[in-house]
Copies of this chain bind each other. A is one copy, B any other.
Amino acid sequence: MSTAAAKQQEPNDSQPLWREAELRAADAMGRLMEFWGFRRHMGRLWTILYLSPEPMTTAELSDTLQLSSSAVSLSLGELVRWGAVRKTWLPGERKDFYRAESNVWKLLRRVYERRELNLVREASDAFLDAQRFLDEARDQLGGRDRERVDYMRKRVSRLRALTKTGERLVRLLVAGRALNPADLQSAEEED
């Protein structure tokens, strides 16, 4: 009965007994996601879906988390774009239903592939740009200034090596291969 009632938008006073547990888990995931650079609601919504044996509607979600329908629509749409949530339709129902993609590892790989890889590549390109500017400057300078530019060139190239290493690391992660930090450290030596 309580299960069935939960399906309708039910008055705030008769929450299912497990609601508290649900919310705690959702909030924990929300904090993780927020820290990781996503909207906090994405983590919360995903968790509610992940904990539900049945696909849910936006109405149930906004009821559970006390969110406006537009907030749900926004974050849910983003989750769908990231492949973290799937739309499904139940026969005889007009509403959209949603279920969580439950393979978290797959999700992680996708995010790293689409987002982190980009990020690190852009940084790498920017360092390359910086190097070009330094090369230009070097040609016009001599003496102490040229020495200084040479120092900077070494440092920038080390930064670039770092991002390249990061790129490699993310690629390995995305490919599901083993990571060996020893490789990573090799890019660094003291001064």
Contact = CB atoms under 8 A, between A and B. Distances in A.
A93 interface: no
A6 B179 CA distance: 43
Instruction: Provide the main secondary structure of the chain A interface.
Output: helix
A131 interface: yes
A122 B179 contact: no
A123 interface: yes
Contact of A21 (B25, B141, B156): B156
A148 B18 contact: yes
Contacts of A24: 126-127, 129-130, 133
A101 to B, nearest CB: 10
Contacts of A102: 190-191
Interface stretch (A30-38, A57-65, A70-78, A82-90): A30-38
Given A18-B134, A176-B181, A178-B179, 11 more contacts: A3-B145, A21-B131, A21-B134, A25-B130, A28-B122, A32-B119, A47-B159, A50-B155, A102-B191, A177-B181, A178-B178
What are the 7 A-B residue pairs with the smallest beta carbon separation, nearest first? A28-B126, A21-B133, A17-B137, A179-B179, A25-B130, A24-B130, A21-B130
